[in-house]
Structure 1
Amino acid sequence: MSYNKFSENTHAANYQSQVAVVGSGPVGLMMANYLGQMGIDVLLIEKLDTLIDYPRAIGIDDEALRTIQAVGLVNNVLPHTTPWHAMRFLTPKGRCFADIQPMTDEFGWSRRNAFIQPQVDAVLFAGLKRFPNVRSLFSRSLMAFSQDAEGVTLQLEDNEGKRETVQADWLVACDGGSSIIRRTLGISFDGKTAPNQWVVVDIANDPLSTPHIYMCCDPVRPYVSAALPHGVRRFEFMVMPGETESELSKPEKMRQLLAKVLPDPDNVELIRQRVYTHNARLAGQFRSNRVLLAGDSAHIMPVWQGQGYNSGMRDAFNLAWKLAMVVNRQADDALLDTYQQERRDHAKAMIDLSVTAGHVLAPPHRWQGKLRDGLSWLFNYLPPVKRYFLEMRFKPMPQYKTGALVAGNEKNSPVGRMFIQPKVTFSNGTQRLLDDAIGPRFAVIAWGCNPQWGLTDQQIAQWQQAGTQFIQVVPEVQLPAVRQQSTGVVCVGDTTGRLKDWFANQRHSIVVLRPDRFIAGMAIPQTLGKLMDALAVAASLRSHVVTTTIENKVA
């Protein structure tokens, strides 16, 4: 089942698309943007009448910003962020025992940023207007769906009870932690619901206006105080045993909570208040034939490291490029199996980290809190340990060992990790981030040499058909003297010296990047051809790409 256009049959209220995305949260919006820019017909389906307009996630990391950069919207998102957002853990007496303020920008952006999710969601939604091949259906409930070897059929119902049918080649479930798609498929959602709840209070015209986020580890009632963009302040208070949401919503109770953190709890402009239960769950599988789970439908985690949103964006970036290649017949659908291979283990690692951070903030037992406070004094006198927290090294960075990559035998190989993104200089003298020279595609990046030298014409044609950018990097001062490159090779200057330093620490001079900026393999010019053949197998590139290229050259 393959469609190039949406159905124009207005009488039957039927729709056809190559990919149906259910859920217009950030993961669904990112999927639709990436697939849209790759020319794929997308139908975005949402149960609500509009995007959710109340604040939810408040932390966006450098990986998520790089994902948004890949669809050309990062400059629209940045005005709604606060970069270099520190996280400070406080004892009940107000002493800061962990000051987490990582200052690295290895991926091109600040590692920790505050943001207000509805504003960024609105940017992602507006971005869909660029693509005539992307349509949105709001106020549609998914009543049922089925799949076969050819595609997926969805039965929808609008607010007036009108039934509609959608036929798609693929279905991406971005419909949240209570995903009806996951439940219908019978996929397990393993984990547990945290025994505590938290009440979240958002206030306009920040009555404190101090920067950063503070996590007060008070055994009586732990709380969070977070500065957000545009003068918004978020407070989060732990719900104590015996308290109910209705009780906490009473004005006198809200005043009592705010009196803990403000000198005048009556003089505030309340945006909203909600009670959340923190969950930690992971789907048993991320793919069921033509249906794929992403974001909260695949995993949910406590908020303490701000990784729920960011893990969902990692899912979207990992899945979108693979699905685009399959739909565009550049790769076989076996490539989609690598999505779960690569993402599930890291999602679990982020769940574990978030649970641990929650125990630091609110230990299950009073003695654990005293032990934490005592150890924090010791950490201040152990510089390596202090740096471990300051630079956020405890955050498990994704590194894929298997999947759409060719791992080497070297110890500490960077293969499977995200590649750095420094500024580079183009031949016309402009300076931009590295990804702007790549676009939404594979890249072969060579230090100093021609990135096509070690490849045959057939291999070059195969990877160009798969959408590959060949890039030669030289010291910036050498740009004026670089000779005319082969067709399809872009030469850039190493503006900051970071690329030279990176390659100097490796055994190889050529790196192959996937569209999600993860390293798929490394080589030197003499071994590049062998690597690219192995990677073609790992990425399930369709063999007809080579055959067609050869036939065209003969003709």
Structure 2
Amino acid sequence: MNTSHPDHLQADYTADVVVIGAGPVGLAIANYLGQAGVQVLQIEKLDQLIDYPRAIGIDDESLRTVQAIGLVEQVLPHTTPWHAMRFLTPKGRCFADIQPMTDEFGWSRRNAFIQPQVDAVLYQGLARFAKVRTLFSRDVVEFQQDEQGVSLRMNGPEGRQQSVRARYLVACDGGNSLIRRSLDISFEGKTAPNQWIVIDIANDPLGTPNVYLCCDPVRPYVSAALPHGVRRFEFMVMPGETEAQLSQPENLRKLLAKVLPDPDRVELIRKRVYTHNARLAGRFRDKRVLLAGDAAHIMPVWQGQGYNSGMRDASNLGWKLALVAKGLAGEALLDTYEQERRDHAKAMIDLSVLAGHVLAPPKRWQGTLRDGVSWALNYLPAVKRYFLEMRFKPMPQYAKGALVAEPNNKATPVGRMFIQPKVVTEAGETRLLDDVIGSNFAFIAWGSDPLWGLSAEQVQAWRALGACFIQVLPQVQLQAGREVPDGVIRVGDCSGRLKEWFGRFPVSIALLRPDRFVGAVAIPQTIGQASDALLQALAATPQATQQAPLAAKVA
């Protein structure tokens, strides 16, 4: 690390970026930075990764993030795709059967998973990178930042105090974040009045797939099938009950008797009591310190969006911090992280709170109203389909940030995630689009040469940022053998989805960011202007054209 600060000469460890916390968000960010060649030091307070189950739902966006860091094939065996969510009335009638059958981003929209096993994959993935190091049993006690970087002190094994000097700090240290509290950043929101006891059981005694949320006014509960034969039950802790009371064998038996014919014949993995919070940090960046995951936002579990919102943070922040750390973009790019992520995190918090109220309404009359509305939806198929296909889920859409905004065009694809269909390469392989792009910027052109309309200087600038240039054709046209400039990748649209996407908008070229969001759109005659505008929005530095690419294309 290059710095003239005197702490650098005395620090036990130095890095470009220090990541506090080895949960899924910290691990994902460390993987992305490592993949980009950034020097990373990850610090974890515990002596190993957390081994007890927490989140149980991973969505298509998060799987796409795992795909971007090259680990999705190792993660998929620990997931159950197409995981439906069913809301039940107290009498067992299913009034909402949410079937996530869309795969526009390349993966099933809802998937069950075992978090410790996936976290282990993310941690093992760090071994690929010589510039990434993880330290366990390190408790950060204080830190300071200045114009050149961040200095922190931590207690290591056997009480030894150690120091770290880095250019940037990413705080992924949980809802009780020391870093956030030390910066006096607000964490406004509410704590739910009721706790929930979570019981995980091996050799699933029910065996039925999917997840059920029973809206029982006496004691709401959740029954979820997980991979590898694990069943999770969650029961609301009622007023006056304590964790110690519910943990007694006779009381656990009473809870399980609600859902199992033989509550004595189970293989208990573990039980824990959780409190549901809905809180959002007042800001996600303070100079050289950035908050991500639970340190920036926490939410109830009912839509499975706590984990997934954190992974969206990692996807959004990772590539931006890599560009800045490598000198390819100015620090203004880091401001776009909060611009793009905070509003959507708030929307997911609101959705999760609403789902909790559907499961356990604060008032008895609200439950009666819910049941009545669910009957009425049977006579409104279009409205019912809106809910059952999860169209209510707020998808990230950025109106400002690292993009070329089109403020008067509500239908613009700019600021939205691009689709990921399968394509056919010239070698005849069928691959997901992201596997062709790699962890890079991409110019995706329908039918035309993506370089036409760009100057040599513009092409050089984008290649320095690691961009690839892709020409998409109907699959049958690949056999025509058209010549394209060196470095242009030709792929065939074998499903028609790319043709359909471009057919919805008056554009034929999409400029994709590394997180697969559309940064700008154009036609061949306007691609030069769009290119310059996006480079400006990225705060790309003049020396970018002389640097090595951000990341190599995935083979």
Alignment-mate amino acid for residue 330 of structure 1: L
Alignment-mate amino acid for residue 463 of structure 2: Q
Structure 1 residue aligned with 2:161, among 160, 163, 178?
Answer: 163
Following superposition of structure 1 onto structure 2, how do residues 439-454 of structure 1 map, counting pairs within 5 Å? 439-454=438-453
Q: Which residue of 1 aligns with 2:236?
A: 238
SS in 1 for 2:159: coil
Distance in 1 (CA, whole Å) between partners of 2:144 and 2:536 is: 31
Q: Which residue of 2 aligns with 1:401?
A: 399
1:466 paired with 2:465, answer yes
For residues 194-220 of structure 1, give each alpha carbon's deviation from its aligned partner in whole angstroms, at most 9, with x where no partner exists: 111100000000000000000000000
For residue 484 of structure 1, report the CA deviation from its aligned partner: 2.9
1:45 paired with 2:26, answer no
Distance in 1 (CA, whole Å) between partners of 2:112 and 2:214 is: 18
CA contact (8 A) 2:11 2:165 kept: no
- Structure 2 spans left out of the alignment, 5+ residues: 549-555
Q: Which residue of 1 aligns with 2:350?
A: 352
For residues 260-280 of structure 1, give each alpha carbon's deviation from its aligned partner in whole angstroms, at most 9, with x where no partner exists: 100111100000000000000
Distance in 2 (CA, whole Å) between partners of 1:341 and 1:548 is: 27
CA contact (8 A) 2:8 2:165 kept: no
Q: Which residue of 2 aligns with 1:2?
A: 2
CA contact (8 A) 2:464 2:546 kept: no
1:363 paired with 2:333, answer no
For residue 13 of structure 1, report the CA deviation from its aligned partner: 7.3
Aligned residues: 544
Alignment-mate amino acid for residue 91 of structure 2: K
Structure 2 residue aligned with 1:60, among 58, 61, 65?
Answer: 58
Q: Which residue of 2 aligns with 1:552?
A: none
- Structure 1 spans left out of the alignment, 5+ residues: 550-555
CA contact (8 A) 2:464 2:547 kept: no
SS in 2 for 1:233: strand
Distance in 1 (CA, whole Å) between partners of 2:218 and 2:525 is: 65
Following superposition of structure 1 onto structure 2, how do residues 143-292 of structure 1 map, counting pairs within 5 Å? 143-292=141-290
Following superposition of structure 1 onto structure 2, how do residues 383-462 of structure 1 map, counting pairs within 5 Å? 383-408=381-406, 409-462=408-461
Distance in 1 (CA, whole Å) between partners of 2:253 and 2:338 is: 46
For residues 450-504 of structure 1, give each alpha carbon's deviation from its aligned partner in whole angstroms, at most 9, with x where no partner exists: 0010101111111111111110000111112232321221111101111011111
Alignment-mate amino acid for residue 125 of structure 2: G
Distance in 1 (CA, whole Å) between partners of 2:25 and 2:424 is: 32
Q: Report the RMSD for the aligned CA atoms in angstroms.
A: 1.4
Distance in 1 (CA, whole Å) between partners of 2:528 and 2:243 is: 62
Q: Which residue of 1 aligns with 2:320?
A: 322
Distance in 2 (CA, whole Å) between partners of 1:162 and 1:15 is: 14
For residues 326-381 of structure 1, give each alpha carbon's deviation from its aligned partner in whole angstroms, at most 9, with x where no partner exists: 01111001000000000000000000000000000000010100110011001011
* Percent of matched pairs sharing the same residue: 70
Distance in 2 (CA, whole Å) between partners of 1:465 and 1:114 is: 39
CA contact (8 A) 2:150 2:168 kept: yes
Distance change in 2, residues 1:135/1:547 (3 Å): closer
**Which region of structure 1 is more displaced relative to structure 2, 249-258 or 340-349?**
249-258
SS in 1 for 2:17: strand
Distance change in 2, residues 1:308/1:547 (3 Å): closer
Following superposition of structure 1 onto structure 2, how do residues 19-34 of structure 1 map, counting pairs within 5 Å? 19-34=17-32
For residue 390 of structure 1, report the CA deviation from its aligned partner: 1.4
SS in 2 for 1:39: coil
For residue 8 of structure 1, report the CA deviation from its aligned partner: 13
Distance in 2 (CA, whole Å) between partners of 1:362 and 1:545 is: 54
CA contact (8 A) 2:446 2:472 kept: yes
Distance in 1 (CA, whole Å) between partners of 2:188 and 2:8 is: 42
Q: Which residue of 2 aligns with 1:553?
A: none
Q: Which residue of 2 aligns with 1:523?
A: 522
CA contact (8 A) 2:8 2:14 kept: no
Q: TM-score, structure 2 length as denominator?
A: 0.96
Q: Which residue of 2 aligns with 1:487?
A: 486
For residues 164-191 of structure 1, give each alpha carbon's deviation from its aligned partner in whole angstroms, at most 9, with x where no partner exists: 1111011000000000000000000010
Distance in 2 (CA, whole Å) between partners of 1:461 and 1:329 is: 16
Alignment-mate amino acid for residue 401 of structure 2: G
Distance in 2 (CA, whole Å) between partners of 1:369 and 1:193 is: 21
Distance in 2 (CA, whole Å) between partners of 1:161 and 1:153 is: 19
